[in-house]
Amino acid sequence: MLISVEGIILKETPYGESSKIINVYTKEYGIIGIMCKNAMSIKSNLRAGTMKLTYANFQIYYKKDKLSLLKNVDIINHFKNIKNDILLVSYATYLCDLVSQVLKQSQDKKIYDDFLASLLKIDEGLNPVVITNIMEVKLLDYLGVGLNLTSCVMCGQKKEIVTLSSERGGLICKKCYTNERIVPISLVKVINMYYLIDIKSISKLSLKEDVINEINQFLEVFYDEYTGLYLKSKDFLKTIRKL
């Protein structure tokens, strides 16, 4: 069955001397494995459109639960700015890997919309740390480990909140506080905004650097504690950020 489907290439794997297999994330069908014959050949008109981190319309002979076959590809956006910056490539690659893991838990089409919007905003020049953190916050519910940002995770009290604990997974009140690291409560409002905001609607970001770093650090610890995910791309991203 010949179909045309919009999607984003999450991964490309060489196959034989000149072909490759690409994993394309689509809104309608989830992740599709597609055989691209001779796409690695310098003269192939499929070469540019089958690179990782390419957003395009793919004409394919679709086979459910099997490798589909690529006939043609029309590039919508090849994320030029991302591909020309190793740091941005690192963020985008991490998001590709994170989304791939989340899709094992949920096929909600909102994930596709948010993922695409995240890549577009990073390519447009918006702060990749903030955009990545917003995506991380939005994906927590699909992983079954949503943050409790309304009351103390220990006793349920909504008053006298003193910190947000990444180890305990939410707010801690004065009565339940032991020796958790103090996170400014003002950050709770920002993290809640991350959860609620439509990524497509973001045109500028005006957060202070210390706020950005504090939230990023919180989410790193929370993901390590609660998601059970280990992604090599996240370790590489941390290394690149230190350079």
Instruction: Assess whether pLDDT exceeds 90 at residue 209.
Output: yes
Q: Which residue type, as a one-letter code, is found at position 235?
A: D
- The domain boundary, picked from 45, 78, 111, lies at 78
Whether 93 has a pLDDT exceeding 90, the answer reads: yes
Least confident piece of the model among 81-95, 108-122, 216-230: 216-230
63 and 116, same domain (yes or no) = no
Contacts 24+ apart (CB under 8 A), 81-85: 81/123, 81/124, 81/125, 82/53, 82/119, 82/122, 82/123, 83/53
Q: Tell me the whole-structure pTM to 2 decimals.
A: 0.93
Q: Structure tokens of 51?
A: 């690179």
What average pLDDT is seen over the chain? Answer: 95
Nearest to 9, CA basis, from 54, 73, 75:
54
Pair 94, 55 in one domain: no
pLDDT digits (tens, 9 = 90+) for 127-184: 999 999 999 999 999 999 988 888 999 999 999 999 988 888 889 999 999 988 888 8
Residues 202 and 104 in one domain: yes
Judgement on whether residues 94 and 73 belong to the same structural domain of the protein: no
Same domain, residue pair 135 and 216: yes
What pLDDT is attached to residue 180? 84
Q: Are residue 141 and residue 65 in the same domain, yes or no?
A: no
- Same domain membership, residue 218 and residue 135: yes
Shared-domain flag, residues 136 and 198: yes
| Domain co-membership, 28 together with 141 | no
Domain coverage including residue 61: 2-78
The CA distance from 201 to 118, in Å, is 11
Beta-strand relationship, 148-152 and 161-165: unpaired
101 and 66 in a common domain:
no
Give the domain-ending residue among 78, 96, 126: 78
Looking at 26, 57, 78, the residue that finishes a domain is 78
Per cent of the chain over pLDDT 90 is 86
Summarised one tens digit per residue, pLDDT across range 34-83 is 999 999 999 999 999 999 999 999 999 999 999 999 999 999 999 999 99
Instruction: Domain count for the chain, please give it.
Output: 2
pLDDT of residue 74: 98
